[in-house]
C-alpha cells in the first residue's frame, strides 16, 4: 500500500486541502488492487482558512516517511514559505518521496530548491511572481499541471484535481482513475491549459452546447471522425467550431480527438487482451500501423511496450 502525506500549515486553503483527501482518502475503487494510506501532517492547531484548525497527531517531520507528499496552496508562501514546511519537504524528497504541489504550494517547493532547473507551474495569477522570486525555475503558466517525475506542480485550485487524478492514473492505470473520476463527478482528464480560464468570456454556444458534442464524439470514437463531422453534429461551421474548441478546451478539434483516441487506447491496452489491430479499429485509427505511429509520438513508447510495462 502506497503512503500519501498531506502537508498542512498556517495559511492554507480548505479547498486545496480537501482535494487530496477526496482523491487519496476515498474508498478504494473496485478496479484497484490496492490503494493509498493517507496521513495528514501538520503543526497541531495550525489555522487553516479563517476558521478551521488542524488537529492531528502527525507532525510535519512525518512527511519523510511517505511515498508521496502533497503540498496544497499556501498563500503565506508567496511572501515567505514557512521554514518548518520547507525543511520537511526537503527531507522527504531527499529520502526519495515524490512531491507534488497544488497552486501556490509551488512556492514551498521552489523555496526548498526542488524546482531549480525544472519546468513548473502555479496559478496564472502568481506565475510571474514565482518566476521573479525563483529565477532558476522554468515557470510555465499555460498548463494545468507538470509531471517532472519525482516533482509535480499544478495550477490553481481545481487543477489540483487534475494533478491528483494524474497521480492515480500513473500509479494504478486509466481504468482506476476513470472510475474514481466518475465517483467524484469530474472529468478524468481535462484538455488544454490555464489559458482557457484567464479573463476570457464563455464561448457562444448553441442550445445543445459544446459539452453535448464532446459526449457525442466520445461515443463515436470508433468512427473516422473529421472536423466537418463534428461541425455538422454541432450545427455550425468548421471555422466557428475551431474557435469554440480553442476557447473551451485550449486545443483544436483534431488534437482533442487524437488525445481521446490515445487515452482510450491506453485503457484498452491496460484492461483487455485485444490485439493492436483490434484496438486501432475501436479507437477510430483504422490500422495498427497508424495507432503505433501516433502512440509512439504522443506516449513515447509502442503500444506493445506500454502494455507489457503496465502489466509488469
Q: Which CATH class is domain 201-312?
A: mainly alpha
| Selection from 13-22, 95-104, 249-258 with the highest mean pLDDT | 95-104
Average pLDDT of the segment spanning 172-193: 79
What pLDDT shows up at residue 51?
A: 65
Q: What is the pLDDT of residue 206?
A: 40
User: Is residue 21 classed exposed, middle or buried when 0-12, 13-18 and 19+ CB atoms within 10 A define those classes?
Assistant: middle
Residue 299's φ and ψ, nearest 5 degrees, are -95, -30
Residue spans of the domains in the chain: they are 2-184, 201-312
Spatial CB neighbours of 208, under 8 Å, sequence gap ≥ 6: 234, 235
Instruction: For residue range 1-32, list pLDDT tens digits in order.
Output: 699 999 988 878 888 999 999 999 988 887 77
Domain at 2-184: CATH code = 3.40.50.880
Strands 68-71 and 52-53: unpaired
Backbone angles phi, psi at 52, to 5 degrees: -100, 140
Other CB atoms within 10 Å distance of the CB of residue 176: 22
pLDDT of residue 201 exceeding 70, the answer is no
Strand, helix or coil for residue 303: helix
Q: Do domains 2-184 and 201-312 have the same CATH topology?
A: no
Q: What is the pLDDT of residue 63?
A: 94
Mean pLDDT of 60-88: 92
Stated pTM of the model? 0.69
All three cell numbers of 212, joined, read: 453535448
Each residue of 117-139: b (16+ CB within 10 Å) or e? ebebbbbbebbebbbebbeebbb
Residue with cell 459539452: 211
Amino acid at each position: 500500500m502506497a503512503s500519501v502525506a498531506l502537508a498542512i500549515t498556517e495559511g492554507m486553503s480548505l479547498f486545496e486541502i480537501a482535494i487530496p483527501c477526496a482523491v487519496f482518502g476515498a474508498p478504494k475503487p473496485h478496479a484497484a488492487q490496492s490503494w493509498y494510506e493517507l496521513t495528514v501532517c501538520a503543526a497541531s492547531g495550525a489555522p487553516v482558512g479563517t476558521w478551521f484548525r488542524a488537529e492531528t497527531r502527525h507532525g510535519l517531520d512525518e512527511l519523510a516517511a511517505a511515498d508521496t507528499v502533497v503540498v496544497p496552496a499556501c498563500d503565506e508562501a508567496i511572501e515567505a514559505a514557512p521554514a518548518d514546511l520547507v525543511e520537511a519537504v526537503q527531507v522527504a524528497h531527499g529520502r526519495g518521496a515524490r512531491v507534488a504541489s497544488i497552486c501556490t504550494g509551488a512556492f514551498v517547493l521552489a523555496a526548498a530548491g526542488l524546482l531549480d532547473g525544472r519546468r513548473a507551474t502555479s496559478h496564472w495569477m502568481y506565475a510571474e511572481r514565482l518566476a521573479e522570486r525563483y529565477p532558476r525555475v522554468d515557470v510555465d503558466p499555460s498548463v494545468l499541471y507538470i509531471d517532472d517525475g519525482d516533482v509535480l506542480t499544478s495550477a490553481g485550485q481545481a487543477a489540483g484535481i487534475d494533478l491528483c487524478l494524474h497521480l492515480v492514473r500513473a500509479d494504478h492505470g486509466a481504468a482506476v482513475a476513470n472510475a474514481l473520476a466518475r465517483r467524484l463527478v469530474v472529468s478524468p482528464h481535462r484538455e488544454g491549459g490555464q489559458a482557457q480560464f484567464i479573463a476570457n468570456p464563455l464561448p457562444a454556444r448553441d442550445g445543445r452546447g459544446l459539452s453535448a458534442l464532446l459526449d457525442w464524439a466520445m461515443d463515436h470514437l470508433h468512427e473516422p471522425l473529421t472536423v466537418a463531422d463534428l461541425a455538422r453534429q454541432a450545427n455550425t461551421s468548421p471555422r466557428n467550431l475551431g474557435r469554440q474548441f480553442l476557447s473551451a478546451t485550449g486545443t483544436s478539434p483534431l488534437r482533442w480527438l487524437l488525445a481521446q483516441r490515445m487515452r482510450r487506447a491506453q485503457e484498452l491496452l491496460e484492461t483487455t487482451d485485444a490485439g493492436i489491430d483490434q484496438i486501432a479499429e475501436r479507437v477510430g485509427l483504422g490500422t495498427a500501423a497508424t495507432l503505433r505511429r501516433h502512440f509512439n509520438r504522443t506516449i513515447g513508447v509502442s503500444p506493445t511496450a506500454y502494455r507489457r510495462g503496465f502489466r509488469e
